[in-house]
Structure 1
Amino acid sequence: MTEIRNSTAGIAAAVHELTSEEKRRTIRKVALRLVPILAFAYFFNSLEKTNISLAALQMNKSLGLTTAAFGLAAGLLFVGYAVFEVPSNLLQYRVGARKWIARIMITWGIVAAATGFVNGEASLYVMRILLGVAEAGFYPGVILYFTLWFPRQYRGTMFSLFVLGGTLSGIIGSPLTGLLLTPKTYFGFESWRAMFVLEGIPAVVIGIVCLFVLRDRPADAKWLTTRERNWLEGAIAAEEAQVQAKHSAIGFWRSLADLRVLMLSLIYFCLKFGQYAIGFFLPLMIVAFQKGGTKLDPFQVGLISAIPYLAAVLPAIWWARRSDKTGERIWHAAIPAILGAVGICISALTHEPVLILASLCIAVIGLNSQSAPFYQIPGHFLTGAAAATAFALINSLGNLGGFVAPTVFGVLKDATGDYTLPSFIMGGVLILAAVLTVILPKVFKIDPKAMNVEKVSA
């Protein structure tokens, strides 16, 4: 322990070699180099994960799918995802993010495009499982990647900018998908099939670009000065040493059984339950609240679907920035879950389209603001391979909510004829997530103040 403290002190001395302005300039350089390409990758990752929701407007009839069958197909992606998530993140830890993230995007794009050639319910199920296998490790891989590049007090903000790519897929991607679905066919090829192919190709291109743009860690970045590289490496090494000094280092197997990690996985399951229920069923909900003889085409449905995600952009970035500035994580992760629950429950209580849409905006603002502060919590007690395992385990088990939610949503919709009951269930699950987040420090006797990080200067 003494050796760790001495090492930490030595590294900390090196950390202060840069002035505050030089540190901010270094972070800006890293952010401009890495975050845009990763956010762009997440844009297409999110788009190709949920574009099936708009495709359902035509695909369900073409393939003869019930709402329950569609919900199962939408959720099966997360089965392959959950099984391969931890191995994928550990492989990234060993081979490096540059090669592994590129591999994920290339295989993801190929499988996404191949979905346009399914010929029935069974083949659609297979392609959705394969899509999850291809994607496994991307989201937690980026989280792990950020721990190698950004000191802890900057990560929430940077992560919110990365997640912005997923939000923009709802804003731009939904109308784009709707536009591609507007013609009935493209040269005799059904438009929903063409949409899958056309939206899958860019992911392959981005994967190739990642090979040239990304670097595994600051020491490999020739576009930073020597002093900037040394500061980043030193600052991050000092933080890891501090974590190991406060929490004894744990290995792969112990991290899998760590009760803190399992509880965080349960919280994330509840959050993803709400997020993906909205993500997959929002277009169908919009179609359901049309009145009279008015009929919306896929492009109009896509435009309306974009509104909640547009409303969520600035609040999510502001909330992540606020979490970084105050150094607080627990309540910044819990409050958005409560907001999401309030929004989705209000949508179930009203029958006016405008009020339903407004309440769904509230729900999406909450759900999109939660991830950035939430994913800063595991880094307070895990580093290295254990952190890689924890990020992957939380994401894989949590994303099983993405399998359960659309399946349950579809079955209950078919059974009841509307979205009221499934919406209330979703709200209840989100409240459970908020409660579990708040009691996490109490259950494990963690001082919330000890989880606070150095505040980011304005």
Structure 2
Amino acid sequence: MNTAATPEAVRRKVSRRLLPPLFVMFVLSFLDRTNVALVKSHLATDVGIDAAAFGLGAGIFFVGYAVLGVPSNLVLHRFGARRWLALLMLVWGLLSCAMGLVDGPGSFYALRFLLGAAEAGFFPGVILYITYWFPAEDRGKATGMFQSAVAFASIVGNPVGGYLLGLHGLGGLEGWKWMFILEGAPTVVVALAVPWLLTDRPEQARWLTPAERTLLCERIAADVPDERQRVPATVGSVITDSKVLRLMFVYFAIQIGVYGVTFWLPALVGRIDGLGDVGIGFASALPWVFALLGVLVLPWLSDRTGNRRGPLRLALLLTVGGLVGGVLLPPVPAVAALCVAAFGFLGAQPVFWTVPPTILSGAQMAGTIALISGFGNLGGFLGPYVMGAVESGTGSGADGLWVVAAVVAAGAVVVTGFRWAGMRGRPGAGEQDGRPAETSDAESGTEATA
């Protein structure tokens, strides 16, 4: 083999080629699904969408998201990522632009549901796509770089959206219509370029040398889980397997934490005395700066040690601690506590997505990743509902964080039970969880696969 084809050189080349377009695609996806939060009052004034209708419409996105994720990922696995992701992106970009045509609750519900259905295949599709291109030891960092788009979009989304709302009256259109149109349009443009920006599989990458393609394909093939570790292949076996069910619950717990913080943060920042509009904007963005750190630091730690369980459990415990601090502390230190929670819940996600490939492969992995993602994102629907219901019953929005914190804590307990191969470190990676990594792998009866 050509000595120039080293794992590090191939990793850098693949990262430089694929991660930037995936990052941009996720930024646009996140903005197109969340920009509706900026126009709640405008929709109420202009088209009669009251708070209850707005809440239902905002949440119904996740119903469409949950329904179509699995078939979308199976199509991607069968026919390739670049054309399928481009098609999904084109459709949701046009739907995002069409949000400017909302004229009442009915059209609002329909467009939000369709937007969720169109975006359903994007995130689990990219998670699957990353497994095609990055060996297990690099997968956490790659997923973390991709998911850092969430923090970036959250930091820049409000200022950009606020500027576009300021175009009110231009061309006779309300500012909220301009926001939907001008944030959806770049998605359409990028979608047209995606087939040229992405490559379906390593063996098709002309931008890698033959030696580099061979090395990468060999490393990816070596990561396929041992037969003894793999979930049985039938649909019934997958959806009833205890490992898959635990993964579904843990991802649901992570998403509940995300939306609990997102729901409570504006009210908490509003309680801080002496903040003007600029100060409120900076305070609201601060947790997402820490989230960006989490999504880079925790996956790096996980990849470096080969330990998935420890960093994932740490991330969930940090989220719990931050949520509790958000309830108990005065406003300023409470915001600091939510920064800790954000570090945890966003850092947890790329580490979490390194786990399914340790027990799944092929079309089975494609469908199950989407199943986990769809179920977990129901937290986006239930999280705000639970927070609102608890506030209605107790009169305090902070009380809802106790419920959210309890669910996340339960997720941390479940993670403690992840004891299959690859959860506690690679041989030679050093002590993990107080014992040598070799010991825990021997106890599992298999070699580490992640």
- The question of a shared fold, defined as TM-score above 0.5 by the shorter chain, is answered with yes
SS at match of 1:244: coil
Report what 1:11 is aligned to: none
Cα 1:415–1:63 change in 2 (3 A) is farther
- Report which stretch shifted further, 221-230 or 337-346: 337-346
Report what 1:12 is aligned to: none
Cα 1:414–1:169 change in 2 (3 A) is same
Deviation at 1:125, TM superposition (A): 1.7
1:341 pairs with 2:323: no
In the alignment, residue 290 of structure 2 is paired with which amino acid? A
Report what 1:9 is aligned to: none
1:434 pairs with 2:434: no
Report what 2:262 is aligned to: 279
Report what 2:192 is aligned to: 208
Deviation at 1:70, TM superposition (A): 3.0
Deviation at 1:201, TM superposition (A): 1.1
Deviation at 1:303, TM superposition (A): 4.2
Cα 1:179–1:193 change in 2 (3 A) is same
The one-character-per-residue Cα deviations of 1:301-346 (angstroms, maximum 9, x if unpaired) are 5444322111222232111111000000012112111211221221
Q: Which whole-Å CA distance do the structure 1 matches of 2:327 and 2:362 have between them?
A: 44
Contact 1:178 1:302 in 2 (8 A): no
Report what 1:321 is aligned to: 300
- Pairing partner for 1:394 from 372, 383, 392: 372
The one-character-per-residue Cα deviations of 1:197-223 (angstroms, maximum 9, x if unpaired) are 111111112211111111110111111
Report what 2:201 is aligned to: 217
Within-5 A mapping of 1:260-271: 260-271=243-254
Report what 2:385 is aligned to: 407
1:166 pairs with 2:150: yes
Matched length: 430
Deviation at 1:374, TM superposition (A): 0.8
- Pairing partner for 1:309 from 270, 278, 288: 288
Deviation at 1:74, TM superposition (A): 1.9
Contact 2:23 2:149 in 1 (8 A): yes
Q: Which has the bigger relative contact order, CA under 8 A and spacing at least 6?
A: 1
Within-5 A mapping of 1:188-199: 188-199=172-183
1:59 pairs with 2:38: no
In the alignment, residue 200 of structure 2 is paired with which amino acid? D
- Report which stretch shifted further, 417-426 or 163-172: 417-426
1:27 pairs with 2:6: no
Q: Which whole-Å CA distance do the structure 1 matches of 2:228 and 2:345 have between them?
A: 34
Contact 1:78 1:400 in 2 (8 A): yes
- Report which stretch shifted further, 252-261 or 304-313: 252-261
Report what 1:13 is aligned to: none
Q: Which whole-Å CA distance do the structure 2 matches of 1:438 and 1:170 have between them?
A: 31
Report what 2:439 is aligned to: none
Q: Which whole-Å CA distance do the structure 2 matches of 1:455 and 1:226 have between them?
A: 31
1:100 pairs with 2:84: yes
Deviation at 1:253, TM superposition (A): 4.5
Cα 1:40–1:248 change in 2 (3 A) is closer
In the alignment, residue 407 of structure 1 is paired with which amino acid? Y
Cα 1:55–1:410 change in 2 (3 A) is farther
* Uncovered stretches (5+) of structure 1, i.e. residues with no partner: 1-16
- Pairing partner for 2:220 from 236, 243, 247: 236
Report what 2:240 is aligned to: 257
Report what 2:438 is aligned to: none
Report what 1:89 is aligned to: 73
Report what 2:139 is aligned to: 155
Deviation at 1:65, TM superposition (A): 4.5
Cα 1:415–1:249 change in 2 (3 A) is closer
- Pairing partner for 2:161 from 170, 173, 177: 177
- Pairing partner for 1:41 from 25, 41, 45: 25
In the alignment, residue 171 of structure 1 is paired with which amino acid? I
TM-score by length of 1: 0.87
SS at match of 1:424: helix
In the alignment, residue 343 of structure 1 is paired with which amino acid? G
Deviation at 1:455, TM superposition (A): 5.9
In the alignment, residue 258 of structure 1 is paired with which amino acid? D
- Pairing partner for 2:357 from 379, 402, 409: 379
Q: Which whole-Å CA distance do the structure 2 matches of 1:187 and 1:336 have between them?
A: 48
1:141 pairs with 2:125: yes
- Pairing partner for 1:370 from 332, 343, 348: 348
